[in-house]
Structure 1
Amino acid sequence: MTEIERRDRRPELSRVARTRRQLAELYMATSEYLDSRIGWDRLPTALGLSTLLGLRHRLRERNLYDTTSLPAVNLPPIEPPGEQHLINRTCDGSYNDLASPRMGMAGTRFGRNVPLTSAVRPDDAGVLTPNPREISRALLTRTEFVPATTVNSLVAAWLQFMIRDWFSHGTSPQENPWVVPLAPDDTWPQKSMTIMRTPSDETRPADSAGMPPTSINVNSHWWDASQLYGCSATEQKAVRAGEGGRLNAERHTYADTVPGFWLGVALMHQVFVAEHNAICDMLQARYPHWGDEELFQRARLITAALIAKIHTVEWTPAVISHPTTVAALRANWFGVAGERVHKLFGRVSPSEVISGIPGAATDHFGVPYSLTEEFTSVYRMHPLVRDDWHLRAVADDSTLRKVTLRDLAGPAATAMMAELDTTDLLYSFGTLPPGLVTLHNFPKFLQEFERPDGNLQDLAATDLLRSRELGVPRYNEFRRLLRLKPAATFEELTGNPVWAEEIRAAYGGDIEQVDLTVGVFAEPLPPGFAFSDTAFRIFILMASRRLNSDRFFTEYYTPEVYTPEGLQWITDNTMASVLLRHHPRLRSAMSKVSNAFQPWRTASATE
């Protein structure tokens, strides 16, 4: 084509681009209209799915905000580029984006899903108003356990296992804590309640007046199974066996002195250390000439992708089991063409909509990738965790122990793992329901949680304070920024007249002060949901973004990087097959479930 011909085509191409943009705008506007007037969850599945896709497009346009462009100093160091960065995940998440090697690495800032001008931390008095301890006592305390009957307690164990990979604000400084006043009738065992502050962002320049609050993720932002492999060379060396690519199951530390560790996390660690090692054995049989490093790196890629697949097509559809969301989440991985077509033919289209995100093009949607403070906030789902646990034997459902969450947390969890059979513990989790993510269902133990350092903590009050401290908008403003209708009254917020009065009293009648956590716990839930529709909006955006931005899930999701056997392993396996590979005595209990996060049959029911 000549230059003149190319010039002649430019207006035509411009018209095509404008037309496409106009059609895209019409599609997104129609999706928002249907959602606001009818609700995506009330539409037929196909139309609901189309509506969610339109909402995701709009969220990608208007709810991704970059904090890396803000002034910064003392950025985390990166090693010089090397050939190993092309096909291996690094320890700290650097070089995932080869053109921007710090993107998403450990030690970089959380991003935002709201405009930076809306990410405003109140003054100190505002952070403490209304009193977070009083909100915790009045609205969050578990008065009676409310179960989520469509899932089992593996959903709680899995979520904490994931969170230890995704994000951490780091160790809080001991000096200058928040001091929360206590009511005269408060039974808190100390004279005052102190809550440690979020660690400061060391990359903020000294003169950063006017900058929105920013904080550092000490974990890698990528979905790279760093909870198994660590985020530094030192951590990774400590957990490797040094031969055959394997992890050392005996030496693999569960860090049971780190806050947040409990039996559920320990079980997931043990299962996926064993899974990594099984993948190493498979690869070594196929590629006997490979050394320890090659086996380790390929097994890490495969394990991380299998974990991401399980979360995408099993865990999330189990906890938000509406037919439309199940279809949408499975489409994230397999595309609307479906799993059967994927297994028979692989990708049949470059489109992520048709053939899924894995293997599609990498796309940051115009904003450098990171996890966000809002993503962190909506994942505050402590009500999933039970207070009381009936541990039973898989063989006959007989009682082994009746314990509380306190008996399963910290070093006590490690002791429990040594004393009881892991298969029995998994069976107990699989046959016990978790809690529903709702008001008045926060674990009592976590409202008087003794940290490994000896400090007492009300995690419910801490969750509220953290969102305020980090500039996460309160509930109504959060909804406005997601283009959702704010609640005009307390009755409209919850639909539960008793709760409406309780929330009104707790917030002094000011609905604009209602915290995000309280609002999402109080909302009426869509059918099949264990958490709120408002929180789901962040999931619509971020669940796919974690895959879209990661080249190891997109353009590098190939047989050359993963091996043909590795991709087949990911395709063929589920949470159920992973559990049964390492714990075959669970087969009877799991024989009637299509998803391992659904309730299993008890031994007495299988006879």
Structure 2
Amino acid sequence: MSRSRARSIATDGAVNRLRFLALTHGRPLWRLAETATPVRRRLNATLIDQAVREMPPRPEPLSTLAPYTSWTSLTDRTYSGRHLPPHDDQETGRPSVDKAAGLFLREGPMDPCPRSTVLFAYFAQWFTDGFLRGESREPRDPRRSTSNHEIDLNPLYGLDAAATAAVRAHEGGLLKSQQINGGEFPPYLCENGEIKPEFRALSAVRMEMLPPERRDTLFALGGDRGNVQVGFTMMTVLFLREHNRVARILAGHNPGWDDERLFQTARNIVIVQVIRIVVEEYINHITPYHFRFLLDPKLGTALRNSPWHRQNWASVEFNLVYRWHSLIPGALSVGERELPLAGTLFGGALIPGPGLGRLFEDASEQRAGRIGLFNTDPSLREVEFSSIADGRTLGLAPYNDYREHCRFPRVRRFDQVSGDPRVHESLADLYRDVDDLELYVGLFAEEPGSPKAVLPPLLTKIIAIDAFSQALTNPLLAPRVANAATFTRPGLEIIAGTRTLSDVLHRNIPEDPAPRFVSMTWRGAAR
């Protein structure tokens, strides 16, 4: 047994390590198992159920409302859930927030991720922003959440009924749109720098930062953050096109349906399409496993009695573990240009020229950064600072406590967090003891379980637990709901034919129908 393998078993625990080795070795056996549908379905349900059971199930006894349980803390979802009670001492044995944030910054060239493309980063931001939503207004309270706690595509459809009504065409089940250079886009939000009357129910984060002429390039999107970065806008435009495509198909098959039924049925279909992409492309990209998870139509029946099958409630820890700022390169490929990150903010006007297909391919051809310390672009220092400060304000328990909560052994030395001398020596310089290491820093200081892994072990486990338990409890996947009465037969066929972002894109680029390479996984990545 090699020294690194021994260290991994000692650090991760025998059960965790053996499970990881089993899932990342024996590829021919896993592929054989996938050829037998009953075997694959049983493996799929069992592996998902086991993954989620690695933490105690919801409801959480506590939320960010108070350090004790009350009826309000169990029901008021304007506060975030929390996995562990608050930890009183947030300063002793720890560096200043500024010094801790310095651990994240890259000083030279970006260290690339072994598997991920920028498209993965774009999708992660767009997808998670729908349910991991803190307050945007100042002064900001990190305890509070503006989330619906569901995968409901509110970046497209809006957080509430008023926003949804504003983006609907109220004809044929469609969303409002306009044609630009042969492609379908949302209408513009503003005219002469002011929000149009029809869109008063909508808002755009940080719009006040822009001069009037820039405000007139913003799109009218259901979500308030949809214009903030070009990748986010690209995703919303794509699924607006898909919604309208689906609505037109439904109208052709159901000539007697009114606008309301067409819209609601198309919305149901598109939400489940995204959930399927999350499970079958996004999660399978993250995990280095040979078994490929799937959104099995019978999964709801297989898992409905699992103890974790409860109402969704996003936790503050889930919010923090998704801050993958190190994925973002210092410059992004957008059309024929390499733009600094700041040049892609409020960048909807960058899309129509090169076209949606070209931009998705650009993002797929560009490698993302490795998730971890010393790899965040300096322009994002403030968001790392804010993440650490939020963790301390909320009194999050130390990294070691969360390891124990997720059934990992506690680490006793900094070199068990990471074998990289730069990482563990820097941690030892700043923290008095490994038990003082805070969750946010510890999550990103850990080294991955293998050279092919995108995420380190604790981060992977928290993501898997919350992602599966929040996605698979969606009401549209319930056994009595997931049927032709809800989706129609053509709708079920559309869902069955959607496994990747590439599937959706290539149905929706009439202005540029050429085949495009669209993938979250880098072409040169080894599996």
**Paired residues of 1:362 and 1:548 also in contact (CA < 8 A):** no
Distance in 1, matches of 2:333 and 2:387, equals: 28
Q: 1:577 aligns with which of 484, 503, 514?
A: 503
- Give the structure 1 partner of residue 404 of structure 2: 480
Distance in 2, matches of 1:255 and 1:501, equals: 43
Q: Out of 153-162 and 554-563, give the one that drifted further.
A: 554-563
1:512 aligned to 2:435? Answer: yes
- Give the structure 1 partner of residue 20 of structure 2: 40
For structure 1, the residue ranges without an aligned partner over 5 or more in a row are 1-31, 76-101, 175-195, 199-214, 335-346, 348-354, 393-399, 448-457, 602-607
- Give the structure 1 partner of residue 86 of structure 2: 120
Question: How far is 1:61 from its partner?
Answer: 4.2
Q: 1:232 aligns with which of 143, 160, 167?
A: 160
1:303 aligned to 2:255? Answer: no
1:134 aligned to 2:99? Answer: yes
- Give the structure 2 partner of residue 150 of structure 1: 115
User: CA offsets, 1:506-552, max 9 Å, x none?
Assistant: 22x32112222222222221333211110121233222212443221
Question: How far is 1:402 from its partner?
Answer: 2.1
Given the superposition, is the C-alpha separation of residues 61 and 268 from structure 1 closer, same or farther in structure 2, using an over 3 Å criterion?
same
Q: Which TM-score applies when normalising by structure 2?
A: 0.77
Q: 2:249 aligns with which of 277, 282, 297?
A: 282
- Give the structure 2 partner of residue 255 of structure 1: 204
Q: Out of 54-63 and 150-159, give the one that drifted further.
A: 54-63
Given the superposition, is the C-alpha separation of residues 216 and 358 from structure 1 closer, same or farther in structure 2, using an over 3 Å criterion?
farther
- Give the structure 1 partner of residue 340 of structure 2: 404
What secondary structure does 1:552 align onto?
A: helix
- Give the structure 1 partner of residue 216 of structure 2: none
- Give the structure 1 partner of residue 468 of structure 2: 544
- Give the structure 1 partner of residue 70 of structure 2: 71
Question: How far is 1:41 from its partner?
Answer: 3.1
**Paired residues of 2:49 and 2:303 also in contact (CA < 8 A):** no
- Give the structure 2 partner of residue 314 of structure 1: 281
Given the superposition, is the C-alpha separation of residues 42 and 231 from structure 1 closer, same or farther in structure 2, using an over 3 Å criterion?
same
Given the superposition, is the C-alpha separation of residues 128 and 142 from structure 1 closer, same or farther in structure 2, using an over 3 Å criterion?
farther
- Give the structure 2 partner of residue 342 of structure 1: none
**Paired residues of 2:334 and 2:350 also in contact (CA < 8 A):** no
1:108 aligned to 2:78? Answer: yes
1:416 aligned to 2:371? Answer: no
What is the letter of the counterpart of residue 437 of structure 1?
A: I
Distance in 1, matches of 2:409 and 2:477, equals: 35
User: CA offsets, 1:450-490, max 9 Å, x none?
Assistant: xxxxxxxx111111122222233221111011121122111
What secondary structure does 2:375 align onto?
A: coil
Distance in 1, matches of 2:288 and 2:188, equals: 34
What is the letter of the counterpart of residue 70 of structure 2?
A: P
Question: How far is 1:364 from its partner?
Answer: 5.9
What is the letter of the counterpart of residue 365 of structure 1?
A: W
**Paired residues of 1:525 and 1:531 also in contact (CA < 8 A):** yes
**Paired residues of 1:242 and 1:292 also in contact (CA < 8 A):** yes
Q: 1:524 aligns with which of 447, 462, 467?
A: 447
What secondary structure does 1:403 align onto?
A: strand
Distance in 2, matches of 1:140 and 1:112, equals: 28
Matches within 5 A, 1:142-541: 142-174=107-139, 197-198=141-142, 215-249=143-177, 250-251=186-187, 255=204, 257=206, 261-324=228-291, 327=292, 329-330=293-294, 333-334=295-296, 355-357=298-300, 361=304, 365=308, 368-392=311-335, 400-409=336-345, 411=346, 413-447=347-381, 458-507=382-431, 509-527=432-450, 528-541=452-465
**Paired residues of 1:121 and 1:469 also in contact (CA < 8 A):** no
Q: 1:557 aligns with which of 472, 482, 489?
A: 482
Distance in 1, matches of 2:307 and 2:514, equals: 42
Distance in 1, matches of 2:107 and 2:115, equals: 20
What is the letter of the counterpart of residue 361 of structure 1?
A: R
Q: Which TM-score applies when normalising by structure 1?
A: 0.68
Higher relative contact order (CA 8 A, sep 6+): 2
What secondary structure does 1:390 align onto?
A: strand
What secondary structure does 1:402 align onto?
A: strand
User: CA offsets, 1:43-102, max 9 Å, x none?
Assistant: 6567997995574363354675244794366x9xxxxxxxxxxxxxxxxxxxxxxxxxx9
**Paired residues of 2:62 and 2:83 also in contact (CA < 8 A):** no
Given the superposition, is the C-alpha separation of residues 369 and 427 from structure 1 closer, same or farther in structure 2, using an over 3 Å criterion?
closer
Distance in 2, matches of 1:588 and 1:366, equals: 40
Distance in 1, matches of 2:92 and 2:125, equals: 26
Question: How far is 1:219 from its partner?
Answer: 1.8
Given the superposition, is the C-alpha separation of residues 539 and 64 from structure 1 closer, same or farther in structure 2, using an over 3 Å criterion?
farther
Distance in 1, matches of 2:61 and 2:324, equals: 26
Question: How far is 1:586 from its partner?
Answer: 6.6
Given the superposition, is the C-alpha separation of residues 597 and 142 from structure 1 closer, same or farther in structure 2, using an over 3 Å criterion?
same
Given the superposition, is the C-alpha separation of residues 560 and 58 from structure 1 closer, same or farther in structure 2, using an over 3 Å criterion?
same
**Paired residues of 1:165 and 1:226 also in contact (CA < 8 A):** yes
User: CA offsets, 1:306-363, max 9 Å, x none?
Assistant: 0010011101211323314xx3x32xx12xxxxxxxxxxxx6xxxxxxx423786376
What is the letter of the counterpart of residue 356 of structure 2?
A: T
For structure 2, the residue ranges without an aligned partner over 5 or more in a row are 1-11, 34-42, 178-185, 190-202, 207-223
Bigger-Rg structure (1/2): 1
Q: 2:519 aligns with which of 596, 603, 606?
A: 596
Distance in 1, matches of 2:69 and 2:504, equals: 43
Distance in 2, matches of 1:284 and 1:461, equals: 50
Distance in 1, matches of 2:465 and 2:59, equals: 9
**Paired residues of 1:284 and 1:290 also in contact (CA < 8 A):** yes
Q: Out of 147-156 and 265-274, give the one that drifted further.
A: 147-156
**Paired residues of 1:362 and 1:551 also in contact (CA < 8 A):** no
